[in-house]
Amino acid sequence: MLKEGEAGVLAERKALDASLGGLPATAPSASHLSPIQVVVTSLLALVLLAFFLWQAPLAQVAETLKRVQLGWVAAAVGFSLLSYALRALRWGAILQPVGTVPAPALIGCTAAGFAINTILPGRLGELVRPLLLARKTGLPAAATLASILTERLIDLATLLAVFAAGVAMAAEQLAPAAAPALRPTAFAAALGLAAAFAAVLVLLRFRRTAVPATARLAPKRWRERVERFLDHLLDGLEAVRSLKRLALLSVWSALVWGTAILQIDFLARGFGLSLGLAVSAVVIGVSVIGLAVPTPAGVGSFHAAIQFALATLLGVDLATATAFAIVHHAVCFFPITVAGLGYMASVGFRPSAAAELAARRQE
């Protein structure tokens, strides 16, 4: 007879099997990191964190942290959680052609995914979020996974637009040495966005012939993988094929990232900084570059990116830039992690199951 704990684990495994059963072998997913990769990414985080702290006047940073106005920090936390909630609701809009999903499930699974990304390496939350939603709602796992890819692409497009607009509108507030380099970067971002949008339209319009033709441009041994990737990419982008849906998702994305920009602006006020929305848009664009570095919870890389944006691009003193980066990281990651862990506990999903899920995807 199974003990209660063993029964829970068994039930959890059955649920994971059910989710995986609807998952095609070539579905896009986060990679399962080997122990060596885990060590390397952890060491990278430590090195970047050490670099972030080494160049800062730590005594002044501590004094700056003591003077932070907690009311503005609390407001920033509120905007942070609101941004995650709006992101979850936008996810529901992406999934609308597949089925209607209750808001509590969307918000809970979103929180769970970001919590897993914080506490475990390998971006496993990108697997947990769609598959946990499939388990909770009965939606096809392949559809929920494709929706994550759609979400990433929409976010990338929105961020490029936000960053380009921010640089254009905040030109006079940028540090004199930074402005000449940022303007062509913003122009390249806008040009890249337009080119990518045109390429997607061509691929969607002529999918049957364009996908194999594009795959043939890759080396022979990679062609099959490239073709599968493009197919999954376009599966996700089918959700934005109509202009009406594209406009709807654009509005949702403006709300998601507009709230995130307000979060930075309000937190800055707690440090006595008046950034404004345009400058905050520049900061958020740079911060996402830090998140692209594969360190657990963005430790080190996210801190260094924020510090660079404030100190180098905007001319903020290094102590304030460093203190802001520390608090901003906590505001972005701590509340959503607590919420996500709470949701996982309420539905009986253990963080350890995420690692098992990634391992099974490699089998």
Tell me the pLDDT tens digit for each residue of 164-179.
888 888 877 877 777 6
Tell me the pLDDT tens digit for each residue of 296-354.
788 888 999 999 999 988 889 999 999 999 999 999 999 999 999 999 999 888 877 77
pLDDT in the model for residue 123: 79
pTM of structure: 0.81
Report the distance separating Cα 212 and Cα 229, nearest Å: 11
pLDDT in the model for residue 12: 43
pLDDT in the model for residue 240: 64
pLDDT in the model for residue 46: 87
pLDDT in the model for residue 19: 42
Neighbours of 169 (CB within 10 A): 15
Q: Residue ranges of the domains in the chain?
A: 4-362
pLDDT in the model for residue 325: 95
pLDDT in the model for residue 238: 67
Low-confidence stretches of the chain (pLDDT < 50) are 1-31, 362-363
pLDDT in the model for residue 70: 95
